[in-house]
Structure 1
Amino acid sequence: MPRRRKSARPLIAALIAAAVLAQCAPAQAENVIRLPAPAYDPAIKAPRATAVLAGGCFWGVEGVFSNVKGVISVEAGYHGGSKADATYQRTSSGATGHAEAVRITYDPRVISYGSLLRILFSVVADPTLKNRQGPDQGPQYRAAIVPLDSAQHEVAAAYLAQIGKGGLYAKPIAAKIERFTGFYPAEAYHQDFMQRHPTHAYIVRWDAPKLAAFKRFYPAWIRGAPAP
């Protein structure tokens, strides 16, 4: 009897599955660097403070900061632009002036404002990129510090100058300090996205490595359970 040829379908299916798994496998976070502590970072004795920071897609920014000890809550939203245009559909055009951002409520007796900036630029956002982070491009994905008072502005300016002069980057710092004009909470389905969808392909590829890098660089700042 003639020998039957083995079907190529199982092999093709296996190769496709392997390719998919490779794309979704945890990757090393790109452009992570364990930055030095801020040289200027005055202590604040108040039990609560608020920070507004932008660092690309807010899923990962929120996902990392919700795991930081001393952070009370993190809310994804839109900084800049107008309230009328503060929707995901409109800001995605890149023409509204908004940036995807987070509003962090924290205990400055536990984690300082300067330390939040250190985490932001160590593992969340590359401060040398202009109007983009990771796979996302456009001004809505810019990295920015949005001080809410003069004290925060002084810390932000000092830290950007510090890391810019420290010989840590081959390119100049592109992240800016921007004036606070309003923060508008994002739609409900964006909130706690990383915590609720840990196996989402984007989270696995781009954001989980950021959280892993944070835990590797700053183990003393890991909180027991993610902040709401």
Structure 2
Amino acid sequence: MDTKFLSHSRSPFSTLSHCRHTCKPVCTPIHAVLTRPSPNITQEARKTSVYNDRWFDLIAINHLSQSVQAATGLRNGMSGYESLVESARVASQKFNPIQQREVVIKALERAFPRPILYLIRTLLPPSKFAREYFAAFTTVFFAWLVGPCEVRESEADGRREMNIVHIKKCRFLEETNCVGMCTNLCKIPSQTFIKDSFGIPVNMVPNFEDMSCQMIFGQEPRDLIDDPALKQPCYKLCKAKQKHSMKCSS
């Protein structure tokens, strides 16, 4: 089965009332394959992106950073995205991989009030519309966290869905320069949190060669033991110097 990705510009702000009358839950069997790098990722992941965070971005960044710090009990005096990265880096050094994932889930629960999560889950039950809405919403409101991204189309069994978020170059991975922090402090806890909070599975497929990533709403992620992302060696100049499923090469 081939999967085709096409750019799309559909608005994320379709009415919910229309969804309740027209959208039926479907399960789209979309497949994605993580691009495997050479046997050893020895190159330095060079920072090339420049971000000019707006006031809304800074509020969101600082709120998430404070939530992570509160969850870990480890404070820092930094601000902006630097503070968020430092919070994540300290967590990667102080906690084992399982604890890191638990800390991030706890931080996300602090960052997003439970009544709001419940309301969203009630208004957007699993459906084609919900998957497309979450994909579009992510590109509009979470670029401050992951960098520029766009919605792409998937096709399976003749059905098309705008349910894929293509992150051109992940800001978090670029800043941390660590495969282990990507998997344990972003990919795995985010997949768990989104499914538990909204009832919609999402599979995050990072490409450690170019630092891009695919978020596929509606697709169940692989079991951790079979996930290629957890079998990748780290970058040569990993800043975290933390073990994940394989030793960091630094």
TM class by shorter-chain length?
Answer: under 0.3
Q: Which has the larger radius of gyration?
A: 1
Structure with greater strand percent: 1
Structure with greater helix percent: 2
TM superposition score normalised by structure 2: 0.25
TM superposition score normalised by structure 1: 0.26
